[in-house]
């Protein structure tokens, strides 16, 4: 019985955390979008790409942790496109910019997609 109580309390805490996270997702997307605009204004600024990368990387991890698989997968695709430029102080190509923008459009459309249920 005590184990069941602990599991129920843990499940309730996780649900509360996930709900709080869900409410924060639109703001997290807005931060990413602003960072992307800043980066495009100065593609050679390593600080801008670092900020954009950090926001994408963080959302990828936290989204996946809370069961927002679609959002995590989209961020992973963006991360793959910018990691080489970030690590080599290179400029992202026009084709990569288009791909990233497409992924960000998908992220915006899916930002409120519900998380998958946790399995028991």
Measure the CA–CA gap between 25 and 12, rounded to whole angstroms.
Answer: 20
The mean of the pLDDT values for the chain is 88
DSSP 64: H
Does 57 reside within a domain? yes
Do the domain assignments include residue 7? no
Contact 60, 79 (CB under 8 A): yes
Using the predicted structure, report yes or no on whether residue 40 has a pLDDT greater than 90.
yes
**pLDDT recorded at residue 114:** 67
> Is pLDDT of 118 > 80?
no
Task: Please give the radius of gyration of the chain, using alpha carbons only, rounded to the nearest integer.
Answer: 17
Quote the pLDDT of residue 107: 94
Q: What is the pTM of this model?
A: 0.84
Distances (CA, A) of 76 to 16, 27, 73, 82: 26, 19, 5, 10
Please indicate, yes or no, if residue 46 is contained in any of the structural domains: yes
Residue 99 lies in a domain: yes
Give the residue-averaged pLDDT of 24-43. 94
Which domain CATH number covers 35?
Answer: 1.20.120.160
Q: Kindly tell me the burial class for residue 114, based on how many C-beta atoms sit within 10 Å of its own C-beta (0-12, 13-18, 19 or more).
A: exposed
Domain tally, the chain: 1
Is 9 contained in some domain?
A: no
Q: What is the pLDDT of residues 46-96, one digit of tens each?
A: 899 999 999 999 999 999 888 888 999 999 999 999 998 888 878 899 999
Does any domain span residue 1?
A: no
Q: Which residue has the higher pLDDT, 113 or 87?
A: 87
75: DSSP letter: H
pLDDT at 120 over 80: no
CA 118 to chain centre: 19
| Residue 47, in any domain of the structure | yes
Is 90 exceeded by the pLDDT of residue 28?
A: yes
- Average pLDDT, stretch 11-28? 88
User: How far is 6 from 23, CA to CA, in rounded Å?
Assistant: 26
Q: Which two tokens stand for residue 19?
A: 């709900």
Domain span including residue 29: 25-110
In a domain, 86, yes or no: yes
3-class secondary-structure state, position 72 = helix
């Amino acid at each position: 019985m005590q184990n069941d109580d602990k599991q129920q309390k843990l499940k309730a805490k996780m649900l509360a955390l996930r709900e709080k996270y869900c409410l924060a997702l639109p703001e997290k997307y807005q931060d990413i979008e602003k960072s992307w605009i800043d980066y495009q204004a100065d593609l050679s600024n390593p600080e801008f790409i670092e900020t954009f990368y950090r926001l994408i990387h963080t959302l990828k991890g936290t989204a996946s942790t809370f069961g927002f698989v679609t959002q995590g997968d989209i961020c992973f695709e963006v991360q793959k496109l910018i990691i080489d430029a970030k690590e080599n102080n290179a400029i992202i190509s026009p084709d990569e910019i288009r791909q990233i923008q497409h992924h960000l459009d998908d992220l915006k459309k899916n930002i409120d997609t519900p998380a998958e249920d946790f399995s028991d």
